[in-house]
Amino acid sequence: SAVISQKPSRDICQRGTSLTIQCQVDSQVTMMFWYRQQPGQSLTLIATANQGSEATYESGFVIDKFPISRPNLTFSTLTVSNMSPEDSSIYLCSVEGQENYGYTFGSGTRLTVV
């Protein structure tokens, strides 16, 4: 299965600032997925990032707040913009495995906004 390196692993940020999260995959993948996991909750899909086109956002998530880049088939970034305490969550990237649909996750970024 694919191996994903995600960073930073955690950060504490001031409200009103932005944070960019990076995910690097050890193989080329068509789609990369970004999820948010609020404390004690399940994983909610933010957007799907396809190389060479704009990301597709889920209901409740907008590009201005969560801009995504996908410059090549192994890398993607998610920016959390103009942060507020409500953005405090774990953010995870995910890719589909090369065989048999197995999806793997990055180690997550634990974001605290103060």
Partner 1 sequence: GENVEQHPSTLSVQEGDSAVIKCTYSDSASNYFPWYKQELGKRPQLIIDIRSNVGEKKDQRIAVTLNKTAKHFSLHITETQPEDSAVYFCAASSDSGYALNFGKGTSLLVTP
- In the complex, the residues that contact partner 1 under the rule CB under 8 A are 1, 30-31, 33, 41-45, 48, 92, 94, 96, 100-108
Q: Which helix (H) or strand (E) holds 19?
A: strand 19-25
Q: How far is the CB of 4 from partner 1 (least distance, A)?
A: 9
Are 79 and 70 in contact by the 8 Å Cβ rule? The answer is no
Q: Cα(67)–Cα(101) distance, rounded to whole angstroms? A: 27
d(CA 110, CA 92): 9
Nearer to partner 1, 13 or 43 (CB): 43
Task: Name the residue nearer to partner 1 (CB basis): 14 or 100.
Answer: 100
Closest distance between partner 1 and the C-beta of residue 8, in Å?
A: 15
CA dist., res. 4 & res. 7, Å (int)? 10
Nearer to partner 1, 57 or 75 (CB): 57
Residue 81 or 107 having the CB closest to partner 1: 107
As measured in angstroms, the least distance from the Cβ of 82 to partner 1 is: 25
Nearest-angstrom CA–CA distance, 2 and 78: 19
